[in-house]
Structure 1
């Protein structure tokens, strides 16, 4: 199935909202991690979202070039090629673009979409995330409205965030963020719905914060309050009507209690980002391979090693299998298994 077009992507999100499940949004950085995620979605009969961050894009472009937009484009082009062979729908998303990186990341990608459409080609990306959470809410929404208007014109979905997700991701550290910043208020949620609802034809997702934290922590260290999502949705509906309810995104989901995850699905979460857990699941088999084949991957004591052991294809296949299993588990946890719209 080709990468989901705009209408299919919108149907995917509506399907998730109606049936109270969420799509795993898997951060990818290479063809290998893409292959792992796609295989998992296919086996789970689950549509999904592949997403690339600014750091992931920069990594994919190579350590010499270090161009985050170019790397994201290269990964998206690969996804378009290989996704056509899989019996599921997949959307391509960009993750966490703060205001100070708009000119290096999102705006060049929007320009690439505009260029492709002028040439009669399909969109390369399905959606983008603008993370203005560090800005005052009014400034955040001013930029978000501008970006949403452009996305609407280009048939793209925009994801926005208000409130700060704790922890650290891609070099952005919020570990010392004030506690009140970790919880989006109902008043802020109404302000977001009111501001973005003014954009004609705009389709967006909203990452509200309810104590969620990037990274993974021992049970009990993360104080999630999913009822914040419930209360915010009620406030939005009372102020603006049922049609203003959000399609919500759960950030910082790695290591969360399953009961908390399931509760958020009841309140409108339709996308959950999964990165830390899949990073570990990918790396763990590589570590296992290296420990078990130490004298094969290294040329020690004058020996020549074992080419079968240091050929990257061997241990990267194992890494893909490890990540694949974790993505399939995410499909189960988010009640998304067997929900594909692909026929």
Structure 2
């Protein structure tokens, strides 16, 4: 069932688990996420990076929305890391009701202004808005952010930012990175605790690929209720394709795609269990369409 991101995050926060937001690029990725969520009776999020949106445009959005509607578990569809007002408008027009307005590459004042404007726009569509202050290092979908450019989220600044922009969720930078961790992760949990004490909105942690279980658990205890996952799922897909293409020349195309879906599904199921959302689908019983109808009456 297509469900509001806000409902997913608020329910997860109340019940001390987190929602997995998995980046998808095509039908195989969408099927892997939905099948994994259904197998474990878990809520989940289908997430499109701007590069995926540029590649698939409205047909890919329509695919994600229809897959969410047809799923037997709560699923929301989210635009990740968008720095473009035009792309955010396109996503909203195409039916997406959850977006990340990412002004983190900008100086703080410009980030605030961009996020405030995009939040006002998205809220006119009834959409949920995630934003970010601080900047996460690493590589995702070809975008590189050097360690020297990364900046931790300041707790006091976070309070000011949320109050000024009206965002619904905040992605925090506490030592997490996009892509692979080149050394053992070191997260600043004291910083996370201070942010949680000052803010009541849901907190998000990007760069969950490669984080050990104990760090995931502690982050959830300190208020994180959404984890973004991309790298490990994408690697499973690419490794399977490489192995199959270089193997049997007579392998059927659908057999290859089924293998790729199975490999991604396995990674996603592992993450769902790690985030503690398995078996929690029954806690999310309000389809998004019903929520919209209720809001209009």
Does the alignment reach a TM-score above 0.5? yes
Aligned mates of 2:141, 2:240 — CA distance in 1: 23
1:29 is paired with a residue of what secondary structure?
A: coil
The answer for the alignment partner of 2:142 in structure 1 is 171
Are 1:206 and 2:170 matched, yes or no?
yes
1:96 corresponds to which of 46, 70, 81: 81
The answer for the alignment partner of 2:289 in structure 1 is none
Aligned mates of 1:193, 1:97 — CA distance in 2: 18
Aligned mates of 1:262, 1:196 — CA distance in 2: 29
The answer for the alignment partner of 1:319 in structure 2 is 260
Contact 1:27 1:275 in 2 (8 A): yes
1:331 corresponds to which of 239, 263, 272: 272
Aligned mates of 2:36, 2:284 — CA distance in 1: 15
1:84 is paired with a residue of what secondary structure?
A: helix
The answer for the alignment partner of 1:116 in structure 2 is none
Contact 1:182 1:212 in 2 (8 A): no
Instruction: Please show how residues 105-184 of structure 1 align to structure 2 within 5 Å.
Output: 105-110=87-92, 112=93, 124-178=95-149, 181-184=150-153
Aligned mates of 1:253, 1:81 — CA distance in 2: 26
Name the CA shift for 1:323/1:275 in 2 (closer, same or farther; >3 Å).
Answer: same
Aligned mates of 1:80, 1:132 — CA distance in 2: 26
1:87 corresponds to which of 61, 65, 72: 72
| TM-score of the aligned structures, taking structure 1 as reference length | 0.78
Contact 1:164 1:177 in 2 (8 A): no
| TM-score of the aligned structures, taking structure 2 as reference length | 0.89
TM-aligned CA deviation for residue 230 of structure 1: 0.7
Aligned mates of 1:333, 1:326 — CA distance in 2: 11
The answer for the alignment partner of 1:257 in structure 2 is 212
Are 1:215 and 2:179 matched, yes or no?
yes
Aligned mates of 2:115, 2:66 — CA distance in 1: 31
The answer for the alignment partner of 2:6 in structure 1 is 10
The answer for the alignment partner of 1:200 in structure 2 is none
Aligned mates of 1:251, 1:75 — CA distance in 2: 23
Deviation digits for residues 70-100 of structure 1, max 9, x if unmatched? x2x21121123333332101101001112xx
Contact 1:87 1:342 in 2 (8 A): no
Deviation digits for residues 291-340 of structure 1, max 9, x if unmatched? 4x3xx32xxxxxxxx2xx1x321111000000001111111111110111
Instruction: Please show how residues 258-297 of structure 1 align to structure 2 within 5 Å.
Output: 258-291=213-246, 293=247, 296-297=248-249
The CA RMSD measured in Å over matched residues stands at 1.8
Instruction: Please show how residues 13-32 of structure 1 align to structure 2 within 5 Å.
Output: 13-32=9-28
Aligned mates of 1:58, 1:150 — CA distance in 2: 20
Aligned mates of 1:218, 1:154 — CA distance in 2: 40
Aligned mates of 2:48, 2:153 — CA distance in 1: 25
Aligned mates of 1:44, 1:223 — CA distance in 2: 30
Contact 1:27 1:50 in 2 (8 A): yes
1:217 is paired with a residue of what secondary structure?
A: coil
TM-aligned CA deviation for residue 289 of structure 1: 2.5
Aligned mates of 1:227, 1:321 — CA distance in 2: 38
Gapped regions of structure 1 (runs ≥ 5): 61-70, 114-123, 198-202, 237-243, 298-305
Are 1:40 and 2:36 matched, yes or no?
yes
The answer for the alignment partner of 1:233 in structure 2 is 196
